[in-house]
Amino acid sequence: MKNFSTVSARIAAAALFTGLLALPAQAATVCEFRPNAPDQHLVVKGDTLWDISGKFLEHPWCWPQVWGMNKEEIKNPHWIYPGQIVYFDRLNRRLSLNKPGSGDGGGANGTVRMSPQIRTEGLGVDAIASIPSSVIEPFLSQPLVVEADEMSGAPRIIAARESRIFLAKDEKVYVRGPLKGITSFQVYRPGIPLKDPGTGKLLAYEAAYLGTVKLHAEAKAGSDVHTFIVSDSKQEMAVGDLLMPAPPTAVRNYVPHQPDRAISARVLGIYSGVSYAGQNQVISINRGSLDGIDIASVLQLYTLGKTVKDATASKGRFGMSTTMVKLPDEQSGTLFIFRTFKHISYGLIMQVTDPVEVGDVVKSPE
């Protein structure tokens, strides 16, 4: 499977911090504080909400449960900036930007609420991100995965002016296929088939992102050939390449949560130029939106247990042990889902103790 390079550096980017989501139908993981949790943390540039929560919580991803916010407050933006202090309210078991005992932000039943931080200029520009957003940027706007049913009947490039073989920016291309009122498309080239590691079933195709084209002149009566202009070219396009509508604006105000149903999946691919993945690297798994995974779902990674010969078992007819046993899968890390397709999802490895490889197990948090 072809790999796509990502940026491994963790840098902060502007991101909207929203609050507590309704708990999913699946039983929620208990959000325990670390025994050595500090009383407070000074927010610095480069922090993420995940990092900060990891200083206080056993499971950093469940931070929405311990910020003093109700479901109504999710409608309003809340920002956290470098220079602010996050306090651990030990009495109410909450994290807050209000110092415990200060009398600010008190709510019913001892709930401490986090108040919006008002700024008149540059609101959100310097706010810390939920996760290392720079790592996943290339995966938010480019197709990379194309399902088989999306390829059927997709608009396609059939020719270019002056019979050019390869097409670049500002050149005209001729396209056949239904536009459905869309005027701007991404161009991609189907690549390696992506098969389920467990069943071998074809799930989708890897897609090489080539650039974008915009409609110049729609097909006239009696013709089905549209004229497009190459508006952006990442790689040279060619006759036979397919068009896909640009994806909707990506969600960046992530609020981590358990998926609504129990998930059992396998690692499908690694997008880092290596055979093994580590922290802050992107992988794909063989489950998607139709399987109950949505954006900001959090899953656990397991190293797939090997099948080995039990040398201690009783010997067979020829004096050799033939008993094969599978060793247990060992929990190795946490995966944060940031983009989903119907049968495939992209996830960012948040923490990991062992290298992750294709075929490893992915499950709902326990």
pLDDT in tens, 144-179: 788 877 888 899 999 987 766 677 788 899 999 999
**Is the confidence at residue 137, as pLDDT, over 50?**
yes
Overall domain count for the chain:
3
Let me know if residue 258 belongs to a domain.
no
| Residue showing tokens 């050019």 | 164
The mean pLDDT value for 275-303 works out to 93
Domain that holds residue 202: 144-245
The verdict on 241 and 317 lying in the same domain is no
The verdict on 313 and 339 lying in the same domain is yes
Let me know if residue 102 belongs to a domain.
yes
Name the strand (E) or helix (H) holding 151.
Answer: helix 148-151
The verdict on 106 and 77 lying in the same domain is yes
Residue 196, class by beta-carbon neighbours within 10 Å (0-12 exposed, 13-18 middle, 19+ buried)? Answer: middle
The verdict on 129 and 44 lying in the same domain is yes
Domain boundary, last residue among 83, 117, 135? 135
Q: Indicate the range of 119-133, 167-181, 190-204, 299-313 predicted with least confidence.
A: 119-133
State whether the Cα torsion 164-168-172-174 is positive or negative. positive
**Nearest to 279, CA basis, from 53, 51, 4:** 51
**Is the confidence at residue 73, as pLDDT, over 90?**
no
Alpha-carbon distance values, 145 to 8, 148, 228, 276, 305 (Å): 21, 10, 24, 20, 28
pLDDT of residue 229: 94
Let me know if residue 326 belongs to a domain.
yes
- Which residues 6+ apart lie within 8 Å of 240 measured at CB? 156, 157, 189
Best mean pLDDT range from 29-38, 128-137, 337-346 = 337-346
The mean pLDDT value for 234-244 works out to 90
pLDDT of residue 49: 85
Let me know if residue 104 belongs to a domain.
yes
Mean pLDDT of the chain: 79
The verdict on 82 and 122 lying in the same domain is yes
Let me know if residue 173 belongs to a domain.
yes
Neighbouring-strand partners of residue 203: none
Residue 358 C-alpha from the chain's centroid: 17
What pTM was estimated for this model as a whole? 0.72
Neighbouring-strand partners of residue 67: 95
pLDDT of residue 24: 40
The mean pLDDT value for 24-43 works out to 78
pLDDT of residue 262: 93
Let me know if residue 151 belongs to a domain.
yes
CATH number at residue 269: 2.40.10.410
The verdict on 231 and 170 lying in the same domain is yes
Domain boundary, last residue among 101, 135, 169? 135
Let me know if residue 24 belongs to a domain.
no
User: Does residue 277 contact residue 270 with C-beta atoms inside 8 Å?
Assistant: yes
The mean pLDDT value for 79-101 works out to 87
The verdict on 150 and 204 lying in the same domain is yes
The verdict on 223 and 160 lying in the same domain is yes
Distance (Å, whole) CA 83 – CA 261: 39
The verdict on 116 and 150 lying in the same domain is no
The verdict on 58 and 108 lying in the same domain is yes
- Which residues 6+ apart lie within 8 Å of 343 measured at CB? 147, 203, 204, 286, 287, 288, 290, 291
Domain boundary, last residue among 135, 164, 195? 135
Let me know if residue 26 belongs to a domain.
no
pLDDT of residue 35: 93
Residue 83 exposure: Cα atoms within 13 Å on the Cβ side: 5
**Is the confidence at residue 40, as pLDDT, over 70?**
yes
Best mean pLDDT range from 104-108, 177-181, 254-258 = 177-181
The verdict on 241 and 327 lying in the same domain is no
The verdict on 284 and 216 lying in the same domain is no
